[in-house]
Amino acid sequence: MKDHTLQMFIDGIRAAWGPLSSEVVNLSRHQLEGLLKAHAAEEWLEALHLEGLANKELYRDPSHGFVLLAHTEQTGQYRPPHDHGRGWVIYGVQQGEMEISTYVRVQEPGGSERLVLRETYLLHAGQTRVYLPGDIHDTRCTRGPVLYYRFTDRDLKKEESEGHKITRYVQKNGVWTGGASCQIS
């Protein structure tokens, strides 16, 4: 079986791509939900399951700049709270389960920052979640291996190399505090 569903995803997003808007986000989310329904015998998906790579680029649009990545993680793997800078992202779980927590940044009277937990939820196979610029979240694989897609409106590694801040937070004395620039994997 060929790469029919992956090509439909790419064509669908390219056809309606534009600046960040509710319509573009909703269309992209809908397209990613369709990709999550791909038949396991499609060559690209079968290869993802066999390879089990931590990070694999599936598509980079030469005109619009959006990127689709696939990630495989084992149970317990954790990515601390982070944002995606100026970018927005959609996570979609193809296999397994992820726990995701969201946070809000609070400014302390002395100028320091800390994170306050907003919510924690499970993202199951077939489900997606959108994070807009500045949204802070973490991820943990709770039932793996998890295979998930990360669709971003831009190349986040390029963003960082051009000096646009992408923040990862650190835990000090049990509190998530103001982070620093980070490498995006």
Radius of gyration, CA atoms only, the chain: 17
Structure-model confidence comparison of residues 184 and 150, the more confident one: 150
pLDDT at res. 162: 78
Domain contains 179: no
Domain contains 142: yes
Q: What tens digit of pLDDT does each residue of 120-176 get?
A: 999 999 999 999 999 999 999 999 999 999 999 998 888 777 777 888 899 988 889
pLDDT at res. 172: 87
pLDDT at res. 151: 98
For 104-111, the CB contacts below 8 A with 24+ separation are 104/136, 105/136, 105/178
The answer to whether 54 touches 115, Cβ cutoff 8 Å, is no
The answer to whether 6 touches 38, Cβ cutoff 8 Å, is yes
pLDDT at res. 13: 97
Domain contains 110: no
pLDDT at res. 182: 41
CB atoms within 10 A of CB 122: 13
Domain contains 115: no
Domain contains 151: yes
Q: What tens digit of pLDDT does each residue of 13-50 get?
A: 999 899 999 999 999 999 999 999 999 999 999 999 99
Domain contains 114: no
Domain contains 40: yes
CATH at residue 46? 2.60.120.10
Q: What tens digit of pLDDT does each residue of 80-126 get?
A: 999 999 999 999 999 999 999 999 999 888 888 899 999 999 999 99
Structure-model confidence comparison of residues 1 and 49, the more confident one: 49
**Distance from C-alpha of 12 to C-alpha of 27, rounded to nearest angstrom:** 8
Domain of residue 20: give its range.
4-100+121-157
pLDDT at res. 159: 77
**Distance from C-alpha of 144 to C-alpha of 74, rounded to nearest angstrom:** 5
Q: Name the domain count of the chain.
A: 1
Residue 183 has pLDDT above 60, yes or no: no
Q: Decide the pairing of beta strands 167-172 and 175-181.
A: antiparallel
